[in-house]
Structure 1
Amino acid sequence: MRPFSHSPKNNTVTKWLTLLTGTTSQIVFSFLYTGIVVSEYNLRHIYGISLYDIGIQLSFLSLGVILSEIPWGMMSDKFGDKPVLLLGLSGLVISLLLFSFIRSYVVGSDINVLISLTFLSIGVFGASINSSSGRSIMSAFPPGEQIFAMSIRQTSVPIGGVIGSLYFPSLFHNAGDKNTFLLCSFLFFLCIIFVIFFVEKEETIYRKNNLLFENFFSCLKNKKIIQILITSFCLTSTQISILVFGKETIILQKSISFIKIDIIVPLILVLGAFFRIYLGKKFSLTNPTSIILIMGTINSTFLIFMVILTKENSPLACLAFILAGITSLSWQGLAYGVISKLGGSTIAGTALSLMGIAVLGASFITPAISPFIILHTSWATFWIFMAMISLIPLFIKSYTNTPLKM
């Protein structure tokens, strides 16, 4: 593993512009991705498609990310961030433009094919942002600030998600689908301009003789990378369970209204993003892996408290839910920073793409199996189970035996 070399050309302004570019690109993609998902009702009624069809089409969005995340990461390690980002963002612009202008000419069952292909391409090209923007950010910042920078970058996902969930459906309804997708296309075009001017072209001398799959297997052989991936999968599973099913637990308790709970969830996302930055700033120079474990343990504790307080019908159960939600979100910036450092300048892109797969995998599996657990046991058993999932990283052998050198 070769550490990232901090270029003297990356002065204070340059490094923050690089971070701004990566973060903004991720916010726009998160806005689009989340916005499409939460606009399921609007999509069905505008295009006259069935619930079954929209379910399949939305799955193509995730499928595109899953299929392309690792290839983008490997290409980033091989060719550098800048060309990969430009290719991915250009693909997003073209996909959205084509859909905006072609869809009015497509009728009948063909609209299902067009939507599926468009969503697949959005997922495929959008995955490039997650896999490639991290390398340039790590290179732009000095070693002592790299994890902090990645923590800021990772706030883009919840921030974009909040904006998308709040405003995309109304934008879709009021401005129409064509104008909405044209707006997103324009935003991605602005991101391309940012990349052209603010992302430095990396030296690829260390990677010019590497085969693409060498980086992939190098990641799989690195025990610390695997440990971070397992940890991220476990903690993301808990995070998703809280965001998806936590509010129903509180609502069933009848101590809080639907309106208030809809305010609380965005609040959790915003506060979680804030704590990602705080932890990245505070602990980037210490052993961040220990902080990740501590946050998982604290999260598990709050979940147990939520179960106890819910059983006693205490209004404090809502507070426990909020704190569990915040802690479930706060660790992710550190984890992305750690895995980038572990990958170094040679395999960071591939490592980040594997991280994306771990997070996305947990996001897919958790909602799929959770109802089965809840229906066959109870809500209390489910939350205790998820609390135990958060503690699994503690038992991974040698996880913190060797502190990560900053």
Structure 2
Amino acid sequence: MEADSGLVGVARLVLAGGVSFLDPQESVFEAMLEGWERQQRVRFLKAETIRARVMVVRRLAEVSNQYPWQWSSGEVEAFFDHARSGVRPIAMSTARGYECGLRQFLEYVTDARYGWPSECMSRFGEAPQIVLHEFNSVRHVSDYEGRPGRRPLTYEEVQALFDAADGLVEQIRARSRKGGVAAYRDAAVLKTVYAFGLRRREAWGLDLVDLRHNPRLKQFGRCGAVFVRWGKASKGSPPKRRTVLLVPEMDWVIDPLERWLTGGRAMFDPAQNPALFVTERRGRMSLRGINDAFTAARDAAGLDQDLDLHCLRHSYITHLVEFGYPARFVQEQVGHVYASTTALYTGVSDEYRNRLLENAVKASLPGAWGEETL
């Protein structure tokens, strides 16, 4: 099969013809990566996704000291064995991500339509092969492969986290140091993330206009809902949008949000910046800044080091389930396409499960739960 000139990433479009390269192997490798980047860009994949995948290919080439047309299954296995050892071994979910990127690269360079097999064979007498298969890939036997330390927080831990965040504000004010307003903003961000079950980027992207009234719950005012415009995208699609309603159990967030809106935010003099959470320099609060806010509060509260900002989203989902909201409602609130994804985030407490068990036992076996029957 000849190369398809209508495809982006075809070898002849990124590799200059009729040129004698000083280092032909390195030149062909770089052209491969450039062509693969182009092929991914036209599929509207995120720039950071492309960079991460290219990084893995480069790392394999560096560790193996070989080029893609020289790779064997043994080299790939040695690469992952190396990544699993050392001071900071990769997690299983990371290994699966690496495999996904490498597999897509190999599918690209072995596809005859892009011309790389014939190009490599004519220049080096070897062609790239699919060297990742079911016998040397991570088997998917569990729905959840994340870190065991990432879990929902208990109600007591959530309260401790927010108390610690508020405590940092008071500490700064008591010492008459600068940063009190920023610390109050950090506490408001964390409370908003939990009260609406937001991802980090979703909270980062909130603007003032994204605060919405809920006509059915007028007492919530402008904090009755948030319109999320930076939801998680998938397969090259633009960010997904959704409206997250404030549930009555989370109405405590209205007061700190209103105080931030009417007092703290104005002290930063954000001018025309539309962002809900701004910095002293009048810019939008960064993704890293949101992470740092959680870390500071977590450490001040003495919580587990494995807990991260995303645990607040796990907590929100779990607590909505425990409050008794239907699974479909919870799924819509957090923007999951599949109910199974929502289920992975849920870690209901023993107390909640005992309540369900108690209700079931009372309904079928009166008096069996340690109560006297009438």
When normalised by structure 1's length, the TM-score is 0.23
Would you tell me which structure has more helix in proportion to its own residues? 1
TM-score of the two chains, using structure 2 as the length reference:
0.24
- Greater Cα radius of gyration, structure 1 or 2: 2
